[in-house]
Each structure stands twice: as C-alpha cells, then as structure tokens.
C-alpha cells in the first residue's frame, strides 16, 4: 500500500500552480510583444552624456515594475530608457510579481510603464480584434493594497514615475494614478488629426517647471513629441508639464467616429507633483521615453522617441529623473 500525505499533495499542487502561472505569464507576455508595440526597438540608440549626474559615489537604484504584464520593460520597449539612466549613473533593476515592501526597499525611484495585468491583456486582445465596443473589461493591473503601498512609500520620501498609454493601459493603471489624485481618461488623444503631438514652448504645450527648465540652459526642454497616448486630469497642487492645445481631442476607440470625440483643451499629458515627502511624475504616453523606429524599403526610417534629434525627449527623460531625485527644483 502506498501512502501519500496531504502535505505532499499540497506542496505538489502549489508547484503545479506555480508552473502553470509561469507558463501562462510567458505565453501572454510573448503575445503582448508580438502585438504591442508594432514598432521595433532602435538598438542603435547609444546616448552619450558628457556630464553624468551620478558619475561618482552612490548610484541611485531605479526599480522597474515588470510584474504586471507590462507592455514595456527595462529589457524590452524601455531598454533605451534603462540604458540612458545607466549612462547617467543609475542602477536599473527589475521587480517581478506584486509590489511589496521588500520590492520597494532600497529603491530610489519606482517606475511602471503600461502595466496591463491579465484582465488588461484580455481587453487589449479584444481591442486588436476590433471588439472594444462590445467587450468592456474592468481592468486594474494593481490591487488596492499595492496602490496604497506605493502611495505610502512615496509619502515617506519615495519617488515614482507612472507611465500609461491610451486604452487599455490607462484603465489598468488608473488605481495607482488615482492614489496620487491623477485621473487618467484612457481615451486616444490627438491634435489636429495627427497621432504624433509636438508640445513646444511657442505653442504653449511645454509649461514652465524645474523639469522643463533644467539646471542649465543646455538642459532646457523646448519641444517634446508624443505619439497618441491619453489625457490626464491633474489634482490641485500638481504642475502640468505638457498641456494639450485648444484643438486637441480624444476618442474612446482607436477607430472612432468624429462625433464620438471630445475636447481635451487645457488637460495634461504629463504632470509632476509633490506627495508627502516624496515626488511623483505621471505621463499619459509611453513612446516619448523609448527609442523606436519604423523601417520601410521605399521610404526613410521613422524615428520615435528619444532617438529623434529635432525634439528634446531625451533631455525631458533625464530632467524627470533628476527632479525626482531632487537634483533640480
């Protein structure tokens, strides 16, 4: 007779459950990479910084969230951002799984980019199948405990960068953003029927703030280009970094009718705010801090993000992390 203890069964079931979850995570993460984003990472992007902010001494630790089926990770879509920060003297590390006190311990900046979660991924797949009008899933990548944990950590002196695009990422990240009072619309934003939006000082899109001013004239941000994304409604006390023009509109679906749109004049696509003893920056568009390219055999390559030389996206990224660290402002 063979005896099998309940303890052995419990251990085996936990192991099997873990293996199934790990396999599912790898499968859906791979699927996400196949369908979002459609551009390719520009691996030729090699930022050169003459004066790294942390060239000597302690190197601040940036923890990038990769535990919520994020469409962008430090080794994937946000590889360029991670590389830029490393050149500036930061240590960039990833965090897998739920946000815990241990995950935040020792971190100087917490970054999350386009978190989806399982429900958000399902909504994204429905959107790709053009079923977004019929399928409306209540996607939250972060549970209430995680959002509260991050807020408490920032209030105690932490720093956070929250980046979330249009649907479904804005919906999936809304709970975390709302813990700091920032409301995400989750709609698709554009200006003058263009999905790429250039915020400049001359058109009033780049607002005055230590992040856009920088420490010297060489760090001054005059133009930032984003690529669709969503609008943000900042809370009282927050500073708008990028502001939509009077002609900017947003739409509930990628393929919307004109009459479904609404104005986002005066709303933001990037905000910064103090929170307790810490600081937070929220961006409503992710590609601005990437380096991507679209290659075509019969046309010049289209560059997207920090690899463009006609805008200041790279300096904008550096100024954000410098402000979060208290080097400026």
Residue 317's pLDDT is 98
The residue among 21 and 307 whose pLDDT is bigger is: 307
Q: What percent of the chain has pLDDT over 90?
A: 72
For tokens 């991050």, name the residue.
150
271 assigned to some structural domain: yes
Top-confidence residue, 39 or 81: 81
Least confident of 11-20, 93-102, 199-208: 11-20
Per DSSP (E only), the strands in 11-131 are 40-41, 61-65, 91-95, 109-113
The tokens 């700091």 sit on which residue?
180
Region of poorest pLDDT, from 85-89, 133-137, 193-197, 248-252? 193-197
Q: How many domains does the chain have?
A: 1
Residues 94 and 202: their CA atoms lie apart, in Å, by 38
pLDDT at 17: 42
For residues 132-159, give the mean pLDDT.
94
Residue 183 pLDDT exceeds 60: yes
Across 15-24, 68-77, 257-266, least confident range:
15-24
What's 174's domain CATH number?
3.40.50.880
Instruction: Compare 319 and 138 and report the one with higher pLDDT.
Output: 319
Residue 184 lies in a domain: yes
d(CA 329, CA 323): 6
Residue 213: closest CA among 225, 228, 201: 201
What are the tens digits of pLDDT across the range 265-286? 999 999 999 999 999 999 999 9
Query: Is 304 within the bounds of a domain?
Result: yes
Tokens 């001359």 belong to residue = 202
Is 71 among the domain residues?
A: yes
* Per-residue pLDDT, 38: 55
Cβ partners under 8 Å of residue 114, min gap 6: 70, 71, 72, 77, 163, 164, 165, 169, 172, 173, 286
49 in a domain, yes or no? no
The radius of gyration of the chain's CA atoms, rounded to the nearest angstrom, is: 20
Three-class SS of residue 300? strand
Do residues 267 and 225 touch, judged by C-beta distance below 8 A?
A: no
Determine the pLDDT at residue 19.
Answer: 42
Residue 30 pLDDT greater than 70, yes or no: no
Q: Is the dihedral of CA 64, 68, 71, 75 positive or negative?
A: positive
Confidence of residue 205 (pLDDT cuts 50, 70, 90): very high
Q: How many CB atoms lie within 10 A of CB 244?
A: 26
- pLDDT tens for 62-99 read 999 999 999 999 999 999 999 999 999 999 999 999 99
Please state, in angstroms and rounded to a whole number, the distance separating the CA atoms of residues 254 and 230: 12
Q: Is residue 262, in this structure, part of any structural domain at all?
A: yes
Tokens 């804005």 label which residue? Answer: 170
Residue 12's pLDDT is what? 46
pLDDT more than 70, % of the chain: 88
Overall average pLDDT of the 197-205 stretch? 96
Place 231 in a pLDDT band, splitting at 50, 70 and 90. Answer: very high
Bridge partners (DSSP) of residue 281 are 161, 272
What is the overall mean pLDDT for the chain? 88
Give 2's DSSP letter: -
Task: Decide: helix, strand or coil at residue 137.
Answer: coil
What is the residue whose two structure tokens read 């979330």?
164
- Average pLDDT for 25-42: 55
For residue 43, tell me if it sits in a domain. Answer: no
Cβ-Cβ contacts under 8 Å for 49 (sequence gap 6 or more): 87, 88, 318
pLDDT of residue 301: 81
- Mean pLDDT score, 103-109: 95
Q: How far apart (Å, rounded) are the C-alpha atoms in residues 27 and 233?
A: 35
Residue 8 counted as domain residue: no
pLDDT score for 58:
82
CA 4 to chain centre: 48
Whole domain around residue 270: which residue ranges? 21-29+54-324
Q: What is the pLDDT of residues 283-320, one digit of tens each?
A: 999 999 999 998 876 777 889 999 999 999 999 999 99
* Alpha-carbon gap, residue 230 to 145, rounded angstroms: 25
């Amino acid at each position: 007779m063979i005896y099998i203890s309940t303890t052995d069964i419990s251990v085996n079931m936990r192991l099997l459950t873990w293996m199934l979850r790990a396999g599912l995570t790898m499968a859906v993460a791979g699927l996400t990479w196949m369908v979002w984003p459609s551009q390719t990472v520009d691996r030729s992007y090699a930022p050169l910084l003459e004066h790294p902010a942390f060239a000597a001494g302690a190197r601040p630790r940036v923890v990038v969230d990769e535990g919520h089926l994020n469409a962008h990770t430090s080794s994937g879509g946000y590889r360029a951002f991670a590389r830029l920060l490393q050149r500036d003297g930061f240590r960039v590390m990833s965090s897998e799984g739920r946000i815990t006190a241990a995950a935040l311990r020792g971190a100087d900046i917490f970054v999350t980019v386009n978190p989806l979660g399982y429900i958000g991924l399902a909504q994204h797949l429905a959107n790709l199948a053009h079923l977004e009008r019929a399928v409306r899933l209540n996607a939250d990548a972060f549970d209430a405990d995680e959002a509260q944990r991050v807020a408490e950590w920032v209030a105690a002196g932490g720093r956070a960068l929250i980046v979330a695009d249009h649907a479904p990422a804005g919906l999936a990240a809304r709970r975390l953003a709302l813990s700091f009072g920032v409301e995400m619309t989750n709609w698709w934003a554009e200006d003058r029927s263009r999905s790429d939006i250039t915020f400049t000082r001359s058109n009033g899109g780049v607002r005055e703030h230590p992040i856009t001013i920088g420490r010297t004239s060489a760090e001054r941000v005059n133009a930032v280009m984003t690529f669709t994304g969503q609008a943000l409604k900042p809370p009282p006390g927050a500073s708008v970094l990028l502001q939509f023009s009077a002609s900017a509109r947003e739409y509930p679906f990628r393929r919307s009718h004109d009459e479904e749109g609404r104005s986002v004049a005066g709303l933001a696509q990037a905000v910064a705010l103090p929170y307790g003893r810490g600081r937070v920056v929220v961006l409503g568009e992710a590609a601005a801090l990437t380096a991507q390219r679209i290659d075509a055999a019969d046309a010049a390559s289209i560059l997207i993000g920090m690899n463009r030389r006609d805008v200041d996206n790279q300096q904008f990224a550096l100024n954000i992390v410098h402000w979060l660290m208290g080097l400026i402002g």
